Structure 1
Amino acid sequence: MLRKVCKGKLHRVRVTQADLNYMGSITLDPALMRAARIRPYEMVQITSLENGVIWHTYAIEGQENSGVVCLNGPPARHFQPGDHAIVLSLAWIDESEWEDFTASVVFVGDHNEITSVVTSRPFDGWQDGP
């Protein structure tokens, strides 16, 4: 059985730009991408904390250590500069990967600078069924 899991999360990043005329994607600071284990052109889920919109698109690299979080193309209608968002990097894992699986949650400051990264594993005592 495959399980869909969150392997990385950018928690409450601030949108720095919205470019409706770009062809699509989300541009992210590569430092944020590495911390959340997001690779270039990987599909991500973005949730707006201002209006609840959930968007799926692919991530591209912006300038290193710039704090850039730019929604390109159609999501620029839903995510505006100054808005807060959550960016999730998702993965499918099978049961054999579960024991070694870890997830990273990246916390940021007001300018999307990394303040901490929390890495966790699934609850070791958890089991399927009663």
Structure 2
Amino acid sequence: MIIEVLKSKIHRVKITQAELNYAGSITIDEDLIDAANMIANEKVQIVNNNNGARFETYIIKGERGTGTICLNGAAARMAQVGDIVIIMSYAYMEMDEARNYQPILVFPDADNKLIK
């Protein structure tokens, strides 16, 4: 049996921009993408802690070290600048592999930067 499990999560980052007139996606600082073992074009689920919205989109690489978290296109309607979100990616695994898999969890600081 194959099941879908949490692969990685960027926990509690702040939306820095919302660009409605753009092809849909989320732009994420490349440092955060790397730390979470995510890649450009990967499907992610976004959960907005401020308004409860949940939606899916895909990743675009943002400039490294900037802390950018920008919702683009229709996704820009799902949050406001300053809202706190959780970004999650999932993977399909065999049940035995999933039982032992430990997701990668990233906890950035208040400026969306990696804590060193």
**Range into which the TM-score falls when normalised by the shorter chain:** over 0.9
Q: Distance in 2 between matches of 1:98 and 1:49?
A: 27
Seq. identity, %? 41
Residues 44 and 89 in structure 1, CA contact (< 8 A), matched pair in contact too: yes
- Give structure 2 stretches of 5+ with no counterpart: none
Q: Distance in 1 between matches of 2:110 and 2:21?
A: 26
Query: TM-score when scaled to structure 2?
Result: 0.94
Residues 8 and 103 in structure 1, CA contact (< 8 A), matched pair in contact too: yes
Q: Which residue is 1:49 aligned to?
A: 49
Structure 1 segments of 4 or more deviating over 4 A? none
**Deviation, structure 1 residue 98:** 3.0
- Structure scoring higher RCO (CA < 8 A, sep ≥ 6) equals 2
- Give structure 1 stretches of 5+ with no counterpart: 117-130
**Deviation, structure 1 residue 15:** 0.4
Q: Which residue is 2:2 aligned to?
A: 2
CA deviation string 1:51-110 (max 9, x = no partner): 010010000101011100000001111211100000001111113533652211110111
Q: Distance in 2 between matches of 1:86 and 1:99?
A: 23
Residues 36 and 89 in structure 1, CA contact (< 8 A), matched pair in contact too: no
The aligned length equals: 116
Q: Which amino acid aligns with 1:92?
A: Y
Query: TM-score when scaled to structure 1?
Result: 0.84
Q: Which structure dedicates a bigger proportion of its chain to helix?
A: 2
Residues 37 and 89 in structure 1, CA contact (< 8 A), matched pair in contact too: no
How do 1:1-130 residues align onto structure 2 when only pairs under 5 Å count?
A: 1-98=1-98, 101-115=101-115
